[in-house]
Amino acid sequence: MSMEARDVRWKLASDGFMTIRDAEQFSGLRKSKLYALMADGSLPYAKIGGARRIPKRALIEFLARNLVIRE
């Protein structure tokens, strides 16, 4: 793993992780959509045992990238 990839992982993990349920409530996205985003690589996650955790920073960045602002 390159130093750059390691830095990105540390930055994503630095704000903590959210359960799928927490991510649903925070984002307004359904569980099935979150799993689809993780499956297609759009949303990184950590798998600890059988549980998935989404980095809070990654979810915020994903939502910000998809934010539509009309003038």
17 in a structural domain: yes
Give the total number of structural domains in the chain.
Answer: 1
> How does residue 26 score in pLDDT terms, banded at 50, 70 and 90?
very high
14 in a structural domain: yes
The tokens for 21 are: 């349920």
70 in a structural domain: no
| pTM recorded for the entire structure | 0.86
31 in a structural domain: yes
Nearest in space to 24 (alpha carbons), one of 40, 5, 38: 38
Q: What is the rounded distance in angstroms from the CA atom of residue 48 to the CA atom of residue 28? A: 24
pLDDT at 22 over 90: yes
55 in a structural domain: yes
25 in a structural domain: yes
- For the stretch 29-59, pLDDT in tens is 999 999 999 999 999 999 999 999 999 999 9
User: 27 lies in which domain range?
Assistant: 3-65
> How does residue 3 score in pLDDT terms, banded at 50, 70 and 90?
confident
18 three-state secondary structure: strand
Report the CATH number at residue 34.
1.10.10
The tokens for 43 are: 């949303």
